[in-house]
Structure 1
């Protein structure tokens, strides 16, 4: 394990925006439990597709998209607040 200093742009919560040394742009740090939940949500989409339940798959996919949209809005807002251009 290596200890480093990183720039923290938000509170340390479940989806902190941080910039690691040597990186031009910050990233989003997801906690392990949040990553596990996201993975489970995507698995639910796949399971519903495999069962042929497209309505349920669409509902699950919409939930995943909403979660990712919230992360992206938070990321973009933080970059705007610190006058950092977006990498996309």
Structure 2
């Protein structure tokens, strides 16, 4: 872990906008519990989509990308001994 200054454009709850050093554009911080909820919603939408449709493939890609980010988030939290803001069993 390291500490660096970031440019904070908004620190609104669940809508923090900041620019990380070395990046051209600001990004939006998504809290871990919100990320997990978005991933769960994408998985639920995928389950209700018509299999093998274009819509299904888009939802599958979205669900996979979000789940990969949830997995990475959980890995980092574990590496630093931090508690997850969601239950791993609810993925």
Q: TM-score, normalised by structure 2?
A: 0.51
Q: Which runs of 4+ in 1 moved over 3 A?
A: none
2:44 and 2:3 mapped to 1: Cα distance?
37
8 A contact 1:15–1:31 mirrored in 2: no
Could you tell me which residue of structure 2 aligns to residue 65 of structure 1?
none
User: Is 1:27–2:10 an aligned residue pair?
Assistant: no
Could you tell me which residue of structure 2 aligns to residue 41 of structure 1?
41
Structure 2, unaligned runs of 5 or more: 52-58, 60-91
1:24 and 1:11 mapped to 2: Cα distance?
19
Q: TM-score, normalised by structure 1?
A: 0.53
Number of residue pairs aligned between Structure 1 and Structure 2: 53
Give the CA RMSD over aligned residues: 2.1
Greater share of helix = 1
2:25 and 2:49 mapped to 1: Cα distance?
36
